[in-house]
Amino acid sequence: DTGVSQDPRHKITKRGQNVTFRCDPISEHNRLYWYRQTLGQGPEFLTYFQNEAQLEKSRLLSDRFSAERPKGSFSTLEIQRTEQGDSAMYLCASSLSARVSPQYFGPGTRLTVT
């Protein structure tokens, strides 16, 4: 499968625990994005990378959130000290860097914080 993959697909955690999600983009894509989506809403932008450089972070990305993309390949999104409000679908997407390149989304990681 040459699409965007995310792992895990589902995560249930207790409040206060740390969680880490992984995203593997389409191999030739140099841009990688993270979005968060809650029920009934569209995805909200969190952050994006061009190669290994994190170029933009949303104000939604509090200090408890950190994302990395070492070596410009896969990316991880970590949430520390999870809160119930962090429960959402976390979506990863990748694209080429051209302005007219669409973004290709992974299946998402559904996080439930109990």
Partner 1 sequence: SQQGEEDPQALSIQEGENATMNCSYKTSINNLQWYRQNSGRGLVHLILIRSNEREKHSGRLRVTLDTSKKSSSLLITASRAADTASYFCAPRTGANSKLTFGKGITLSVRP
Binding-site ranges for partner 1 (CB under 8 A)? 4, 31, 33, 40-45, 48, 50, 55-56, 89, 91, 93, 95, 97, 99-100, 102-108, 110
Comparison of 50 and 76: residue with beta carbon closer to partner 1? 50
Q: Which is nearer to partner 1, 17 or 97 (CB)?
A: 97
Task: Name beta bridge partners: 21.
Answer: 77
Nearer to partner 1 by Cβ, of 52 and 80: the residue is: 52
CB of 42 to partner 1, least distance (A): 3
CA distance 75 to 23: 5
Alpha carbons 107 and 93: distance in angstroms, whole number: 9
CB of 63 to partner 1, least distance (A): 20
Residue 19's beta-bridge partner residues? 79
Q: Which helix (H) or strand (E) holds 54?
A: strand 53-57
